[in-house]
Amino acid sequence: MDRRTVEFIRALRASGIRISLAESQDALRAAAVVGISDRTAFKSTLSSTLVKERKDQRIFEFFFPLFFDTNAPPMWDMTQQLNPDQQDMLRQTLQSLMGDEQALRDLIDQLMQGRQFSQEQLDQLAQQAGLDNAQQMYQQRYFGRQMERLAGLMLLREVIDQLMEQLREMGMSEEALQELMEMLGENIGALQEQLNNYAGSNIAQNLAEQEPREPRRNVEDLNFQHLTEEEAQRVRDEMRRLAAKLRSRASLRQKRDKTGTLDPKRTIRHSLKYGGIPFELQHRTRHVKPKLVVICDLSGSMRYMSEFMLTLTYMLQDLVAKARSFVFIDHMVEVTDHFKAARPEDAVEKVLTDNPRGYYTTDLGYSLAGFFKEYIDSVDSKTTVIMVGDGRNNYNDPRLDLAEQLTRRARRCIWFCPEPQPMWGTGDSDLHRYAPLSNGVYLVRNLRELSIAVDNILTDG
C-alpha cells in the first residue's frame, strides 16, 4: 500500500499539486496509523496531509478512486434470472445477429453470466488501444472508447433494438423483454465503466512514472497573451503575494524618505548666507502618492493583462492617492465603483462579466472621444494616466489629437503594451503613432514585467 500511495502522490505532483518530500512522508506515516480498512478515514487522512489549496481538491478527488478503488461495478447473472428457454432464445438471437466470430460469442456469454473483464482481457485491450502512450488525463475518455470498440461493446449497443425485435417475434413476453433490456443495459454499462476506470488508472500510473518531468514555467514569466485557463489561475493566485512584495518595497522607501532626500545644490545655495558653511541641510520633497487613471483594453488579446492590471491596482490602493479605472472595447466605461463595493478579485470578475467579449471590434479612437466627453475631469496635472493596450485599432480613426491632449493635460501618460517595438505599426497597430505622443511605453508581457512597471510608477510618485 505504501508503494501505491507513493505512486498516487507522484501522479498528484505531475498534475500540478505542490507536495514537498516532508508532506509526502507525513502522508505515509498518517496512512500507516489510520490504515486502509476504513476508506473514508484513509481518504480524509491523505487529503488533509497532501492538499493545501481548495483548487487542488478537485484533482485529488479525481485521482483517488483511480488508485484506491478496486471494486468492479456489479453485474447481473442472467443465467439465474432467465429460465432455460429464455436463455436459449437469447443466445440464438444474439449469435444470429453477431455471426460466428468467437470473440463476440465469448462476450455474449460474459454478459449473460455477469462477469467483469479479467485482468488479462483488460491488459490485452489496453495494448491494442495503445494505452501505454497516453500521458494526459483528458485522454481517458478517448482510450476508454477505443477499448469499448475493440471489446465489441459498441456493436452490441447498436444491435440491442434488433435483438429485442427478434425476441418479440420469437414469442418472448413483454415483461421478460423489459427485464432483459434492463439487465443487458446495466451489464454493458458496468463493463464500460470498468474499461473507463482501467484507462484512467493506467494513465494516472503513466503520469506517476514520468516524474520528474520538465518543471512548469515560473508563474511570473507566463505570457499574458498565451495563457491557458490553468495558467491564468496560477497568475491570479500569485497576485496577492506580488502585491505584498510591492507594498513592502514602498514601505521601505517611505521609511528611508521620512526626512526626504538630501539636495546638495539647495544646501550649497542656502549656505551662502552663512559664508558657505552648511548649517542647514536642505532636502528634496518627500515621496508623494500618485493619482492614477487606468484605461484598459478588454478585447480578447488584452483581456487577461487588463484583468491583472486592475486587480493589482486595487490591491495596492493604500499606496495611491486616488485611482479611477476605465475599460473599453468600442466605447469607454468607468468601473471605479465596482472596486469600492467588493474585493479586487470579485470586482474584476464583475467587470469582466458586465463587459463580455462580443462581435464588436476594438475602437480606441471612439473610446477616447467618449472619455473626453464624459470623464476628462478625472485627469489633471497631478494624474498619471496608464493606457493598458496593444494599440491595435482595427483600422479605425486613432484620434491622435485626443491622445496628444490627454498627455498634455496629465502629469504623464504611459502605455503598458505586450507587443515589442518591432510589431508596432504592423497590421492594424497604431502604437507607433501613439507612442511619440505619450511619455513612454513599458513592455509588459508577464507578471514580472508588470510588477516592475507598477513599482517604477509608484517609486516616481
123 or 258, which is more confident?
123
- Per-residue model confidence (pLDDT) at position 289: 78
Same domain membership, residue 374 and residue 250: yes
Same domain membership, residue 301 and residue 189: no
Same domain membership, residue 422 and residue 314: yes
Angle in degrees, CA 334, 335, 337, rounded to 5: 115
In a domain, 350, yes or no: yes
Same domain membership, residue 177 and residue 57: no
Same domain membership, residue 364 and residue 440: yes
Banded pLDDT at 26 (limits 50, 70, 90): confident
- Among 90-94, 173-177, 296-300, which stretch is predicted with the lowest mean pLDDT? 90-94
Banded pLDDT at 217 (limits 50, 70, 90): low
Set of cell numbers at residue 448: 514580472
Domain, as residue range, for 35 = 2-68
Count CA atoms closer than 13 A to 224's CA, side-chain side: 27
Provide DSSP, 291-344: EEEEEEE-SGGGHHHHHHHHHHHHHTGGG-SEEEEEEESSSEEE-HHHHHHS-H
- Per-residue model confidence (pLDDT) at position 91: 65
**pLDDT tens-digit series, residues 28-37:** 888 888 887 7
- Among 48-62, 170-184, 389-403, which stretch is predicted with the lowest mean pLDDT? 170-184
Domain count, the chain: 3
Distance CA 54, CA 237 (A): 11
In a domain, 268, yes or no: no
In a domain, 41, yes or no: yes
- Per-residue model confidence (pLDDT) at position 272: 82
Same domain membership, residue 10 and residue 124: no
Same domain membership, residue 249 and residue 180: no
Share of the chain above pLDDT 70, in %: 80
In a domain, 52, yes or no: yes
In a domain, 356, yes or no: yes
Pairing of β 291-297 and β 322-328: parallel
182 or 138, which is more confident?
182
In a domain, 206, yes or no: no
- Among 54-63, 154-163, 240-249, 317-326, which stretch is predicted with the lowest mean pLDDT? 154-163
Distance CA 322, CA 451 (A): 19
45 or 255, which is more confident?
45
Report yes or no: 445 and 225 within 8 Å, Cβ to Cβ.
yes
- Among 100-104, 277-281, 405-409, which stretch is predicted with the lowest mean pLDDT? 100-104
- Per-residue model confidence (pLDDT) at position 370: 93
- In this predicted structure, the answer to whether residue 394 has a pLDDT above a threshold of 70 is yes
Pairing of β 383-388 and β 332-334: unpaired
Report yes or no: 255 and 231 within 8 Å, Cβ to Cβ.
no
Same domain membership, residue 98 and residue 54: no
82 or 322, which is more confident?
322
Same domain membership, residue 448 and residue 344: yes
In a domain, 275, yes or no: no
Same domain membership, residue 374 and residue 298: yes
Set of cell numbers at residue 119: 485482468
In the predicted model, what is the mean pLDDT of the chain? 80
Listed residues 15, 46, 68: the one ending a domain: 68
Listed residues 201, 216, 239: the one ending a domain: 201
- Among 63-77, 94-108, 348-362, which stretch is predicted with the lowest mean pLDDT? 94-108
- Per-residue model confidence (pLDDT) at position 411: 92
Mean pLDDT for 334-351 is: 86
- Per-residue model confidence (pLDDT) at position 140: 74
In a domain, 190, yes or no: yes
Same domain membership, residue 244 and residue 129: no
- Per-residue model confidence (pLDDT) at position 440: 92
Report yes or no: 210 and 14 within 8 Å, Cβ to Cβ.
yes
Banded pLDDT at 97 (limits 50, 70, 90): low
**pLDDT tens-digit series, residues 305-315:** 999 998 888 88
What is the enclosing helix (H) or strand (E) of 443?
Answer: strand 441-443
Mean pLDDT for 402-415 is: 94
